[in-house]
Chains A and B, each alone.
Chain A
Amino acid sequence: MRRHHPLFWPLATLVALLAVNAVFNPGFLHLQWRDGHLYGALIDILNRAAPLAIVALGMTLVIATRGIDISVGAILAIAAATAAWMVGGDLVIQDGVQTHVSRFPLPVAIIGALVIGSICGLWNGVLVAHIGMQPIVATLVLMVAGRGIAQLLTGGQIITIYFAPYFYLGNGFLLGLPFAMFVALGVWVLMHLAMTRTALGLFIQAIGINPESARTAGLPQRAITLCVYVVCGVTAAIAGLLVSSNVKSADGNNAGMLLELDAILAVTLGGTLLTGGRFSLAGSVIGALIIQTLTTTIYSIGVPPEINLVVKAVVVFLVMLLQSADFRAWLASAVRRPTVRGAE
């Protein structure tokens, strides 16, 4: 039935957006080597899209099992608060220079945040896989309570991070490219290998297509469902590290606000259906890039930023309709019989 490669439409959307940018802003595609880093709008998009892409990757697996995780924004805030607290510490005067000493070594702080993220994911996974709650309800609990927990960790304040080495995660450059990009790439490659080199990808798809028959076929359905929520929690924690490092602070109340919606949107834009089953990691990464490019486009072509949300809404409506088989059938019949106008 399908005439195009599954990634055709997401890629076409991305290319179209980039083309619009290139037309309105001739310097858009221009890359520049300065101070040992590569600069340019494209690099900027890649850098800013990294946290969203990482969360979208985790979300893809959850959605592939017919689930959904609306607590990723809250998990991001909790992980960011944890990391900020762990690298926070006292201002010490060493050799006459003010230095910030971290409470824990940096690797411990990073691992700490990831562990917290995986615990949050485990919590969601247990509620879904073992208690049998609907995914949206199960993760709603953490979504509501999670921000409270994050604020508890930060004491209701925005924690400013002074520990300089931590800034590398979200602001540093490796080989002239933003470090965050490599993190996203690493997560993607790791997941891709796990999905294609092991049977895991097949199992996840089987669960998404029909959980009951997957279980009767002898798949460890509960364990796998549990795992995808843990992975999703960890990806949210990684994004939390990148975001808090980028803005040098952790805000329990606002960090990762609406991230769950953007991540779900990225997954949907990438061609993964919310009904589970067939999924595409690459599609979700492209989806995240589309969202970021859209934001950048809106800023760069001089559209007032307040229209950003309206444009986003229109794009979601269009993509959603194009994904619907009923809509395509309706459209096809409308095109074939143009005389029947307004027929519903």
Chain B
Amino acid sequence: MSGAPRWMPDPRAIPTLGALAVFVLMAAAGGMAFKGFFSQQVFLNLLIDNAFLLVVAVGMTFVILSGGIDLSVGAVVALASMVVAFLVQQLGWSLSAAFAAALCVGIAFGVVQGWLIARFNLQPFVVTLAGMFLARGSCYLISIDSIAISDEAFSEWAQMRVALGGENAPSVSIAALVAVAVLIVAMWVARATSFGRTIYAMGGSPASAVLMGLPVFAATVGVYTLSGLLSALGGVLLTFYMLSGYGLHAVGLELDAIAAVVIGGTLLSGGAGYVIGTLFGVLILGLIQTAISFEGSLSSWWTRITVGVLLLVSCLLQRLLQNTRR
């Protein structure tokens, strides 16, 4: 890939490496400041508590890499949780059928949004904004109230922990394993498939991508479909975490997802970035929350302020790199 000397990292990788460095530094600082912070379980909990965010943010990474944006993800997460809860709890569907239905809803949202954007040259911002209204509104059409899931098999699945190693070893939830699997597949798709390479090319320069004969139309529809699918999957994981479906679940999740992607070093204008960076972004967001809860006296709103500052630093860093490359 890189033509620079081997010891120099690809300049496009610097923001992502920066995110990794921030994560390591924060973890080290937290370990020094708080007793019990530096344990495997604390770090695995980061993954468990943010599994759904990671899945959603991976989808968002592809959208942003392609030069678009998807504001509907939080609402689709809520809708998926609502669909699962409604089908299982009130219609008595089997779990797998309900999951499949939720994923189909997510795919349908993604296909329609992607098609509108690609076919009519509409702005992703507005299309997915309308999609967000539609998905949230659809939640309330199903029910205005939260639907708690009392299905036993469901809560059993939700509480199941897979131990890593022998007895008393740290353990993770199924949701975390799913999220890691999604991450690995996504990294492969972005690096090694023609779909992934088309997305990078589109994000870099849509006009050149068209001139190169790349299937830009299909890739655009594909990228929003992927985001819709992963949002719905995130919604299913969130339902495991919350054990309920609710129209007000995951309000503002799109912001967290975008923040995670950008902090992870993906350029918001598209074309450059790494899926693995999004993992660092999500872990950093989780770490801020963990640190604030360990600290105890700091109020929750410091989370938002810290995230804002990190976002700013990340964007300034990207901006600086763009300028030096020119």
Contacts and interface: CB of A to CB of B under 8 A. Distances in A.
A137 B267 CA distance: 10
Interface size range of chain A in the complex: 35 or more
Contacts of B131: 313
Contacts of A132: 319, 323
Nearest to B247: A306
Interface residues of B, number: 44
Contact of A134 (B138, B268, B323): B268
Chain B interface SS verdict (over half): helix
Contact of A309 (B69, B133, B312, B323): B133
Contacts of A275: 123
Interface string B300-323: 111111011101100110010001
Given A148-B301, A265-B129, A136 B268 contact: yes
Interface stretch (B196-204, B226-234, B254-262, B275-283): B254-262
A147 to B, nearest CB: 6
A309 B121 contact: no
Contacts of B127: 320
A149 interface: yes
A134 B68 CA distance: 13
A307 B137 contact: yes
A153 to B, nearest CB: 10
B8 to A, nearest CB: 25
A49 B70 CA distance: 28
Nearest to A316: B130
A145 B305 contact: yes
Contact of B120 (A142, A311, A326): A326
B69 A133 contact: no
A268 B311 CA distance: 28
Interface in A135-172: 136-138, 140-149, 151-152, 156
A330 B304 CA distance: 44
A25 interface: no
A132 B316 CA distance: 9
Given A156-B299, A313-B134, A344-B119, A149 B305 contact: yes
A267 to B, nearest CB: 11
B141 interface: yes
B255 A131 contact: no
Contacts of A140: 255, 258-259, 262, 311
A268 B304 contact: no
Interface string A296-312: 00000000001111111
B249 interface: no
A182 interface: no
B293 to A, nearest CB: 15
A274 interface: yes
B69 A136 contact: yes
Contacts of B116: 317, 321
A20 interface: no
A326 B121 contact: yes
Contacts of A181: none
A132 to B, nearest CB: 6
B315 A133 contact: yes
A8 interface: no
A324 interface: yes
A327 interface: yes
Contacts of B140: 306-307, 309
Given A132-B319, A145-B309, A156 B301 contact: yes
A68 interface: yes
Contact of A144 (B129, B259, B302): B259
B319 A131 contact: yes
A16 interface: no
A264 interface: yes
B120 A321 contact: yes
A261 interface: yes
22 contacts: A132-B323, A136-B268, A137-B262, A141-B308, A144-B255, A144-B259, A144-B304, A145-B309, A145-B312, A146-B308, A147-B304, A148-B301, A148-B303, A149-B301, A264-B129, A308-B137, A309-B140, A317-B134, A321-B116, A324-B120, A324-B122, A327-B120
Interface of A: 68, 127, 131-134, 136-138, 140-149, 151-152, 156, 252, 261, 264-265, 268, 274-275, 306-314, 316-317, 320-321, 324-327, 330, 344
